[in-house]
């Protein structure tokens, strides 16, 4: 997503990029079979999806697929497919940032707030030097690796929480709801 200072607030603009969702999450939420059926019926997935993932969707396999660097390869969705295939409600066309969450997934941990919230880092920002899948043809992204802008300063003033999440979607949802309620009441 894009965030920009606007009229004294931090406006969030949706970023229409591909979304990757792993086989395990799709299967545990009951969404793998409908996705596999759609692919078998000819549904075209995002072109960044690895052919091995497409093959697995054709055969009904939910076994994780790893690349040579140890990264899991996942089904890649166009933004509209999140709604049309998975039934997800997409974010409103605009919103305002009021807090920051820094999640970390540890499948063996209990969902919880981390001891200390982390600060914004250079890697938290999209720049033309860090994102090569979507070239900055309109020259909208900053050229510098670290944003020396009003945006970084404003974001650093927002309340923030670091979270440890696991694969228990109900427990994670409960923690996220509780954390959001706490942040909104500050």
User: Among 141, 2, 11, 25, which Cα is nearest to 82's?
Assistant: 25
The predicted-structure confidence for 17-44, as pLDDT tens digits, reads as follows 788 999 988 998 899 999 999 999 999 9
Place of tokens 């944003």: 147
pLDDT at position 80 over 50: yes
116, 162 contact by CB (below 8 A): yes
What is the C-alpha separation between 19 and 74, in angstroms, rounded? Answer: 9
For the chain, the structural domain boundaries read 1-96, 98-184
pLDDT bucket at 172, cuts 50 / 70 / 90? very high
Prediction pTM value? 0.60
Q: Which residues pair with 9 in a beta bridge?
A: 6
| 155 neighbors 98 (Cβ within 8 angstroms) | no
pLDDT digits (tens, 9 = 90+) for 122-154: 777 766 565 555 565 566 655 554 445 678 888
pLDDT value at position 146? 44
């Amino acid at each position: 997503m894009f965030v920009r200072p606007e009229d004294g607030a931090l406006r969030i603009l949706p970023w229409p990029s591909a979304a990757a969702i792993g086989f395990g999450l799709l299967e545990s939420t009951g969404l793998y079979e409908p996705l596999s059926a759609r692919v078998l019926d000819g549904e075209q997935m995002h072109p960044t999806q690895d052919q091995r993932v497409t093959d697995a969707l054709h055969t009904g396999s939910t076994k994780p697929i790893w690349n040579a660097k140890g990264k899991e390869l996942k089904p890649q969705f166009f933004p509209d497919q999140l709604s049309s295939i998975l039934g997800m409600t997409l974010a409103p066309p605009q919103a305002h940032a009021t807090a920051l969450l820094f999640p970390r997934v540890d499948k063996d941990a209990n969902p919880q707030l981390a001891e200390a919230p982390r600060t914004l880092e250079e890697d938290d920002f999209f720049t033309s030097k860090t994102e090569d899948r979507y070239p900055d043809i309109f020259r909208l992204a900053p050229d510098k690796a670290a944003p020396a802008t009003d945006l970084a300063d404003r974001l650093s003033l927002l309340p923030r929480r670091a979270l440890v999440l696991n694969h228990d979607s109900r427990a994670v949802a409960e923690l996220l709801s509780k954390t959001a309620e706490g942040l909104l009441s500050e």
